[in-house]
Amino acid sequence: MEISNHKRALVTGADGFIGSHLTELLLEKGYKVRALANYNSFNYWGWLEDLPTNPDLELVTGDIRDPHFAKHIMKNIDIVFHLAALIAIPYSYHSPDTYVDTNIKGTLNVCQAARELGGIRVIVTSTSEVYGTAQYVPIDEKHPKQAQSPYSASKIGADAIAMSFYNSFDLAVTIARPFNTYGPRQSARAIIPTIISQIANGIKEIKLGDLTPTRDFNFVKDTCNGFVALAESNLTIGKEINICSNYEISMLDTLSMIREIMQSDVKFITDEQRIRPVNSEVFRLWGDNKLIRELTGFEPQFNIRRGLEITCDWFTKSGNLHKYKADIYNV
């Protein structure tokens, strides 16, 4: 089955930050999308609530941790973009069991259902956190994995489960490994929306953790285009592939750029309670995107400043800003 015929897509975690943007992009590209939001009694669809009505969009709610449900929603689907996961690192310190259930077991359920149903392409979402602090830069896909938090351990496990299904059962799996994604709709547990929302609310002193680590930030539209590029190439099957900008910037420089864009005089204050345990902090992430460029022709379209300008503009609109609780520390 040719990748170009994969037009019936399931997006798990579609109610989240990247998932909602990916759902929009797939609809723009002519896919029929079944979008999974996490079940809740309010019938609330997260960021999917903001998407316009579209006859090619089917919204479903449920829990990817249930294998029977996973198989049910994957019927009549050509390709699965599996994004459903718990991703907050601080939360994984005190609730690691939930990360194993959601991230590892959820991925197992998706792969097992795809194997049993047959003919389904699977794109599994990894994270640059699986690499830990860089042993060399830029970080390519051969870099050793280092479990420096329960979260990263769960994603290493999920990736291994997915690749085992490729090696054992010839399942058409690709591991998409985005580096630090940012942009409109991102959760306030991440540093960029935390800073923007607090500045926008007039806060003059912001408590933060260590600002020396570096990251390879990717604007969300670039990340989503990377997902689609991987999905539409047969050459990516059976591979783990970075989605990154091949650019490194420190947390402090990133936040200083936000402060400049927003014309703020806010002060950043180190809060010891927000510093990760010493062996858990990932101090340097700088990704090598050569493989995705060679296999798909993918190139990032947004540099860090342009991406931050768009992000700041979105967050400072009152209709968006009021959805964020700037005075609460999100984990």
pLDDT digits (tens, 9 = 90+) for 106-122: 999 999 999 999 999 99
Six-digit token pair at 213?
């680590």
The predicted-structure confidence for 245-266, as pLDDT tens digits, reads as follows 999 999 999 999 999 999 999 9
Average pLDDT over residues 314-329: 86
Angstrom distance (rounded) from CA 30 to CA 274: 43
Asked if 19 and 153 sit in the same domain, the reply is yes
- Whether 278 and 224 map to the same domain: the answer is no
For residue 148, is it within any domain? yes
Tell me which residue range forms the domain holding 78: 3-182+218-243
* pLDDT of 158 above 50: yes
11 has a pLDDT exceeding 60: yes
Q: Is residue 290 part of a domain?
A: no
Backbone angles phi, psi at 176, to 5 degrees: -90, 120
CA distance 255 to 268: 9
Which residues have C-beta within 8 Å of that of residue 108, sequence separation ≥ 6?
A: 67, 161
pLDDT tens digits for 21-77?
Answer: 999 999 999 999 999 999 999 989 999 998 999 999 999 999 999 999 999 999 999
- In the chain, the number of structural domains is 2
Same domain, 210 and 223: no
Dist. CA 183–CA 217, nearest whole Å:
10
Is the residue at 328 inside a domain? no
pTM, entire model = 0.94
Q: CB-based contacts of 95: which residues, under 8 Å, 6+ apart?
A: none
- pLDDT at residue 77, as a whole number: 98
pLDDT at site 2: 40
| 127 and 158, same domain (yes or no) | yes
Question: Confidence class of residue 133 from pLDDT cuts 50, 70 and 90?
Answer: very high
Q: What is the mean pLDDT of the chain?
A: 94
Mean pLDDT along residues 157-182: 98
CATH number of the domain that residue 64 is part of: 3.40.50.720
Residue 4, pLDDT > 60, answer no
State the pLDDT confidence band at 281, using cuts at 50, 70 and 90: confident
